[in-house]
Amino acid sequence: MSLRTPSIPSPIDALSADLVQPFRRRLAALCDDPSQHGRFLNMLSLMEHIGSRKIMRSQSAGPLGIEVLKHLSEEARHAYFFKRLAERVGGVANDYSERHTLVPTAAAMYVGRLDAGINRSLGTPRHGEVPYLYVSMIIEHRAIWAYRHYHEVLTEKETGLSLKSVMAEEELHLPQMIERLDALNEDTTARLPAFLQMENGLFRTLWRAVEDACGRPQFERAVA
């Protein structure tokens, strides 16, 4: 599989076309700064951890099927994966405090606001699993976009780091979630455009915070 042509084309590609080059420039700059790069990797770990925690909290009251448990375990493993890379690159043991993590508050707000916005749009769904599936699916679209570009930058910079395993698991989640939503009689075609637009705005806010924290606003014109 070519990393430049993901097996599941994402609508995020069109929504974020103007962000690709500044996003990649920032990632390349981070690769040249081990301390900040380690903090960025720890931010990714935090976001994966928040995702796994949200799955546990939102689904613990219902019948925890094997696919949900698999997704939960993979999100927790991704948090561990990025945490290990953060400590390897940054050269220090870390936690999720601001000292060791790039914009942790903004990262948490991105996930929290997307979750709240989708739940608010859905109102009272027919099935408690529906909000979890939509939020997870929208985040997977962004993760595939971001990790694909990040992996390519890591390769170009000859860092010796690879995101192939994480990307493969993220891509597998999408068809599973779509299939489950179809089984719950959800009209994903009607709902997805608004949810993707919501995420796109929240992601731009998050990345503006990353740029501000790094002190060189390479994203400024793209998010204006």
Average pLDDT over residues 178-187: 88
| Tokens of residue 16, six digits | 């974020």
Residue 27 pLDDT exceeds 90: yes
Distance CA 209, CA 217 (A): 9
Distance CA 43, CA 28 (A): 17
Report the share of the chain in percent with pLDDT over 90. 65
pLDDT score, position 177: 85
| Tokens of residue 50, six digits | 């928040």
Band of the pLDDT at 108, cuts 50, 70, 90?
very high
Band of the pLDDT at 221, cuts 50, 70, 90?
very low
Nearest Cα to Cα of residue 174 among 78, 86, 52, 67: 67
109 vs 1, more confident: 109
pLDDT score, position 142: 96
pLDDT score, position 217: 57
Q: What is the pLDDT of residues 31-49, one digit of tens each?
A: 999 999 999 999 999 999 9
Band of the pLDDT at 16, cuts 50, 70, 90?
very high
Residue 145 pLDDT exceeds 50: yes
Contact 86, 39 (CB under 8 A): yes
Distance CA 196, CA 37 (A): 28
Residue recorded with tokens 């996930």: 111
- Neighbouring CB atoms inside 10 A of 79's CB total 22
Residue 210 pLDDT exceeds 80: yes
Nearest Cα to Cα of residue 129 among 174, 186, 170, 168: 186
Average pLDDT, the chain: 88
Average pLDDT over residues 69-89: 92
pLDDT score, position 57: 77
Distance CA 191, CA 121 (A): 9
| Tokens of residue 31, six digits | 């690769």
**Number of residues that this document lists for the chain:** 224
Reply yes or no on domain 12-223 having CATH 1.20.1260: yes
pLDDT score, position 61: 64
Residues 6+ away with beta carbon under 8 Å from 197: 15
